[in-house]
Structure 1
């Protein structure tokens, strides 16, 4: 039996939409995974059947992102939030400082955790502008002796995204790419470490992908708990303890879907087209819709906006829900409206939402 294809328009910020074909394949394989007589959730993580799932996921990610040979790929747990602690625990050495670029709530949380393990400071911040923009590269102030520079590539709450990444020269560049990894081509070699919670573009919640340069691993602190050492997971192919096997299986299938769509170049093209549908309505509304992000910092993944009054916003969100648009409320910390247009959100959903926005303005403008 296939899934009911009468599905909602899912604009949730995370966990978010997954490709329908991936869900249908998972449904078909759920009870008897490829002749094993077991669900993938029942397989031993030491079995050959699961090992293939695990390694295929790594292989697909390596191919899609063109990950160089001198990098390791890890599948961890704890979400990006645990990485906020693991990174300084492993790489903020005594006598060194870590620099953080502040672009929203997630970078604030990462910065707060770093200060628990050593000296950390802000290399730049757009907080005074209510996180409407990404700081200019020329405004970043950091030292070449820093342990690392940390950025958040896309900001789900405020709807901003880095368009060009900083060249940090000898300073390891670390990026939280939870909400835009796999949405556009990136040069992995610019980064010493990339981490991402899966629940936006990679798969269901429960898996965290870490891509780490081997040279950085050699500089890691050693007097830390075994489970919190990156080397532990590198040396055991992310199988030191029981991994989130079903999540990794789903991640591998989502990566396969991206390959079938034509790879990241094609996905990026679609994402630009989807976001343009909604941004065009905002820009052509004569102020009826008020975009939060500056035009040069707009995210292609999270489109944030307000209406002219709180009362009008409530009406907009209520009517949107009745029309089947799910997850368009802004983050609870700032309110407003937000449409998350991740990879698996189809063009048709974005078109329908843009048409709803136009009609709502006609009825209420």
Structure 2
């Protein structure tokens, strides 16, 4: 029944009639209010749990940022960030960080071994060039000198026969030209002279490096049939002309300049090539930095396989890498607007230890005396010839 009635007696007067009437709407409203309250409580608990989980996950994955950055630096061959990885707040990430540190140590060890091997290979190449230079100087030079002496003797004996004397004079001139070409070849094979002289004076001067590069660029400028204009920009900040540079560094800079300019002449088809060398040393610093660059406005480099072919670029990269530097290459920024061709810019940074000049003063005096003695002997030999 929808209605329930009951009598309520009282001491005085008639009894009261009490009725209870059921209301479906009120029951529904009460149930709906209870349901909303329960759902709100569940939603609040769920949001709180999601917030806590979000905070925990972000706190956990925040440690991945240095790991990802370190892995990216490993791809760029920079292991400093890997060595500086901090302790991870999560055990699994800490295991990954430890593995990365171990990988960085193994890569550094392998890199050091490869650099030593590369330096040994380049040393063998220089030894072979020195051996070839000695053979050319000792064997071919002596034979050419003997031919010139014989030609001079024949020219004097045939003075009364003009036709034969002209032929002998031509032979003597050819011998002279061959000797000049041999001297130029010897200079390219052994630009720094003998190794004994470098050991005596403790390295090569800044002025010596400048003169070598000027001679190299000038040789390309004077080369017949060349349409490329070659220029040199040499600057030294913090080091004077008499300050010493390691012999290996000077030889490396000369060889990579030689190979880069040869590559420009053979493959770039450029109208202009620029060799730039800048030496920088902070005041009081024991180390300095040599910035080297060769830039041209030629056809550029669009083939990754060029670094594996024998066109000199691989040799430049190996020498820079063996010297502890990094080689970068990119399209030349100034050539694109001028000629419409991409061009190419090779750039290397070579750090080195500065040689103390004070320890070389006595050696320089000895070398000067030896040079004067050698010059006197050479002059006497020339007079004899």
TM-score for the superposition, normalised by structure 2:
0.20
Whichever structure has more helix as a proportion of its residues is: 2
Query: Taking CA–CA contacts closer than 8 Å with sequence separation of 6 or more, which of the two structures ends up with the larger relative contact order?
Result: 1
The alignment's TM-score, normalised by the length of structure 1, stands at 0.21
Q: Which has the larger radius of gyration?
A: 2
